[in-house]
Amino acid sequence: MLEMQAFRRMKEIIEKIICENIPDARCIFDGDSCNFRLVVVSSIFAEISLVEQHKKVMKLLESKFKSGELHALSLETRVS
């Protein structure tokens, strides 16, 4: 139960960070705390390469990885 609450909270935190920095972003989550998958959809991705798209999102989450709050993430980006 606590693990599920922490997972839901992390989803909320991630979505807040991404949406504050990429205003038209839409976050789609899948999986669980051990197999976490995130799809970020935004129009800003149309102008940058796939590698740069991923770097942009991962940079936003860098502090969560450094703190250990987030340790693994499968990321997909799409142009809206």
Q: What is the pLDDT of residue 33?
A: 65
Between 60 and 3, name the one with better pLDDT.
60
pLDDT (tens digit per residue) in 4-33: 787 789 899 999 999 999 999 999 998 776
Question: Which string of b and e fits 45-79 if b means at least 16 CB within 10 Å?
Answer: beeeeeeebbebbeebbeebeeeeebeebeeebee
Predicted confidence (pLDDT) at residue 71 exceeds the cutoff of 90: no
Per-residue confidence (pLDDT) for residue 72, from 0 to 100 = 86
Report the chain's mean pLDDT, rounded to a whole number: 92
Tokens 């051990």, residue located: 34
Q: Locate all alpha helices (DSSP H) within the chain, ordered by sequence.
A: 2-21, 50-60, 62-67
